[in-house]
Amino acid sequence: NAGVTQTPKFQVLKTGQSMTLQCAQDMNHEYMSWYRQDPGMGLRLIHYSVGAGITDQGEVPNGYNVSRSTTEDFPLRLLSAAPSQTSVYFCASSPSQGMVGELFFGEGSRLTVL
């Protein structure tokens, strides 16, 4: 079973470049979210979506855009990468329509911005 699939797993960017981190889930989950994980800071919510066509900001949304055109996909866009965006990014989904329930995480995408 695929679950939550993230691509790419590793990416190196130069400051100012743009890129998209892809996230797809095959569990028909309504809720999807993006987190970043930095040493000593836990997981911080960037953006989330409670269903197709609906997105909202989390704790640290600046510098990131998202869209949710289908239930399955939730891409995260970095418009102009900065060194402060060097991190490990995790996509997560939940069957609970945004209610507190189990979050299913992807394997992560490690991004380095030079």
Partner 1 sequence: TQLLEQSPQFLSIQEGENLTVYCNSSSVFSSLQWYRQEPGEGPVLLVTVVTGGEVKKLKRLTFQFGDARKDSSLHITAAQPGDTGLYLCAGAEGGSARQLTFGSGTQLTVLP
Q: Which residue's CB is nearer to partner 1, number 75 or number 95?
A: 95
32/49 Cα distance (integer angstroms) = 5
Q: 24, 16, 2, 3: which is closest to 76 by C-alpha? A: 24
Identify the helix (H) or strand (E) that includes residue 64. strand 64-66
Residue 6, both tokens: 């993230």
In the complex, the smallest distance separating the C-beta of residue 41 from partner 1, rounded to whole angstroms, is 6
HSE on the CB side for 99, CA within 13 Å?
A: 3
Give the nearer residue to partner 1 in terms of CB position, either 54 or 79: 54
Cβ proximity to partner 1: between 37 and 67 the closer is: 37
For residue 30, the minimal CB distance to partner 1 (Å) is: 11
d(CA 82, CA 15): 5
CB of 69 to partner 1, least distance (A): 20
Residues that bind partner 1 (CB under 8 A): 4, 31, 33, 35, 40-45, 48, 56, 58-59, 90, 92, 94, 96, 98-103, 105-108
